[in-house]
Amino acid sequence: MLILMRLETNREDIERVKNKIISLNCTPHEIPGKSQLAIGITGPTDLLKKEDFLLLKAVEDVVRVTKKYKLVSRMMKNEDTIIDIDGEKIGGDELTIIAGPCSVEGRGELFDIAGQLKEMGLTFLRGGAYKPRSSPYAFQGMKEKGLDILQEVRKEFGLKIVTEVLNPRTLEAIVEVADVLQIGARNMQNFTLLEEAGATGKPILLKRGMAATVEDLLLSAEYIASTGNMNIILCERGIRTFETSTRNTLDLNSVPVIKKHSHLPIIVDPSHGVGIWDKVPAMAMASVAAGADGLMIEVHQNPEEAFSDGYQSLTPKQFGELLVKLKQLAPIVDKKLLLDKKK
Ligand code: PEP
Ligand code: MN
């Protein structure tokens, strides 16, 4: 349920409505808009009646949100959410590029790639210290040592760090290093992790599960939002289908579908989406054309030697060539790719 407040609402009016919601065993969520404040209600809202609120001072209207997900839906909030990470915006008219290796592999390696990406004007670096691998015998990431390296690189280059959290046990340590917590495809429905990560208040990059529908993804985002953390970036990374010529099938339908139903920013990871490096640029361009707010791309200085996902990684040179094309494409979909603003 959503309560639309009158334009001239003051704090006292808002608190009165919130207290009423709490007295009915539900939870209020303030949703500021450009022109009007709204108060979302979650909990057992089926038991609420519109009349419970319509008579309260400063209440303009009461709307039932018919979708299963509430806080992340456009019905609750029509304006696009723009996430501000110390001045770096995700959503809105900027195209955000997150790039870096699949895994942190060593100090020298990460300093090298981070330096090259910084030189290209990037502001976000990806790299997993904890890796969710299909085989228990595959490289599992550098773990705590990887986090230390990420921290050093963050300080040295001022890049924003995007790194994956696999379970609540390592959350505290990862929060110290990460500017954005990545929750991977395999953990999209790990609801305990979603709630605990959400409660840190850190921005969260939530990747679509490989067998998850768009509605499942939005319901997982709702778990995070229900902790009071609306700094959620959705990520399409391909789903499993009968098609075997690529690692996954990049479901770009999800981009306009999500844009219609949710106010959250959505980015695309074409690297995992196709799994083969030479198809990554085409699908990166297609993602932007479909309306994505950004891209996450695996880049490695020597893909043949990469500890994980080398086959889908671009070299810095290939990535640089892609950036030139993305910059040209962005204005066609009313976006801008700012690559040199800090230089
Ligand atoms: C990754 O980003 O390296 C990763 C493991 O992605 P996903 O969770 O989408 O498989
Ligand atoms: Mn990877």
Given strand 37-42, what is the order of strands in its sheet?
Answer: 27-32, 37-42, 2-5, 59-63
* pLDDT for residue 35 is more than 80: no
Q: Is 246 left (phi over 0), alpha (psi -120 to 50) or beta?
A: beta
Per-residue pLDDT, 343: 46
| Residue 19 sits in the same domain as residue 151 | no
SS3 assignment, position 155 = helix
- Amino acid (1-letter code) at residue 306: A
In 3D, which of 276, 277, 289, 288 has the Cα closest to residue 318?
277
45 alpha carbon to ligand 1 midpoint, in Å?
36
Atom of ligand 1 nearest to the CA of 238: 9
- Which atom number of ligand 1 is nearest to the Cα of residue 208? 9
What is the domain extent for residue 47?
A: 2-63
Do residues 165 and 28 share a domain?
A: no
**Which has the minimum average pLDDT: 19-33, 206-220, 316-330?**
19-33
Give the pLDDT score at 160: 98
- Mean pLDDT, residues 270-297: 98
Mutate to test the pocket of ligand 1, among 162, 207, 268, 300 (most ligand atoms within 8 A of CB): 207
Q: Which helix (H) or strand (E) holds 273?
A: helix 270-274
> How many domains does the chain contain in total?
2
* pTM higher than the cut 0.85: yes
Would you say residue 68 lies in a domain? no
Residues 235, 192, single domain; the answer is yes
Boundary residue ending a domain (12, 34, 63): 63
State in Å: Cα 46 to ligand 2 middle: 42
Query: Are residues 302 and 253 part of one domain?
Result: yes
From the CA of 12, how far away is ligand 2's center (Å)? 49
- Is the pLDDT confidence value at 340 over 80? no
Tell me the CATH number at 52.
3.30.70.1140
Same domain, 56 and 93: no
- Residue 131: nearest ligand to its CA? 1
Q: Which two tokens stand for residue 13?
A: 């009016």
Task: Read off the amino acid at residue 274.
Answer: V
Q: What is the mean pLDDT of residues 202-225?
A: 98
Judge if 88 and 59 occupy the same domain: no
CA 338 to ligand 1 center in whole angstroms: 25
Would 244 be classed as within a structural domain? yes
Residues 6+ apart with CB under 8 A from 61: 3, 4, 54
- What is the spatial distance between Cα 81 and Cα 232, in angstroms, rounded to a whole number? 9
DSSP structural state of residue 73? B
Q: Nearest-CA neighbor of 167 among 147, 179, 153, 183?
A: 183
Q: What is the mean pLDDT of residues 315-323?
A: 98
pLDDT tens-place string over residues 68-120? 999 999 999 999 999 999 999 999 999 999 999 999 999 999 999 999 999 99
* Contact call for residues 174 and 163 (beta carbons, < 8 A): yes
* Closest C-alpha to ligand 1, atom 6: 184
**What does the mean pLDDT of the chain come to?**
96
Q: Give the closest residue (by CA) to ligand 1 atom 1.
A: 102
d(CA 293, CA 217): 17
- Quick one: 109 and 225 in the same domain? yes
Which ligand minimizes its atom distance to the CA of 165? 1
Domain assignment present for 343: no
Same domain, 38 and 87: no
Q: How far, in Å, CA of 63 to CA of 81, rounded?
A: 20
Question: What backbone torsions phi and psi does residue 322 show, to the nearest 5 degrees?
Answer: -65, -40
Is the shortest distance between the CB of 237 and ligand 1 below 6 Å? yes
296 and 163 in a common domain:
yes
Cα 21 from Cα 322, distance rounded (Å): 50
Spatial distance between the Cα atoms of 253 and 193, rounded to a whole number of angstroms: 27
Shared domain for 166 and 96, answered yes or no, is yes
User: 204 in a domain, yes or no?
Assistant: yes
Residue 112 sits in the same domain as residue 141: yes
The pLDDT value recorded for residue 33 is 77
Q: Is residue 279 part of a domain?
A: yes
Is 70 domain-assigned? Answer: no
User: Minimum-distance ligand to the CA of 308?
Assistant: 2
Residue among 269, 298, 308 whose CB has most ligand 1 atoms within 8 A, to mutate: 269
Give burial (CB, 10 Å; 0-12/13-18/19+) of 224: buried
Confidence of residue 342 (pLDDT cuts 50, 70, 90): low
Between the CA of 231 and the centroid of ligand 2 the distance, in Å, is 23
Domain for residue 78, yes or no?
Answer: no
- 91 in the same domain as 55: no
Ligand 1 geometric centre to CA of 331 (Å): 29
CA of 54 from ligand 1 middle (Å) equals: 46
Under 8 Å between Cβ of 65 and 76: yes
Residues 6+ apart with CB under 8 A from 275: 238, 246, 247, 248, 311, 312
- Assigned domain for 73 exists: no
CATH number reported for the structural domain that contains residue 258 in this entry = 3.20.20.70
Q: Is the CB of 247 under 6 A from ligand 1?
A: no
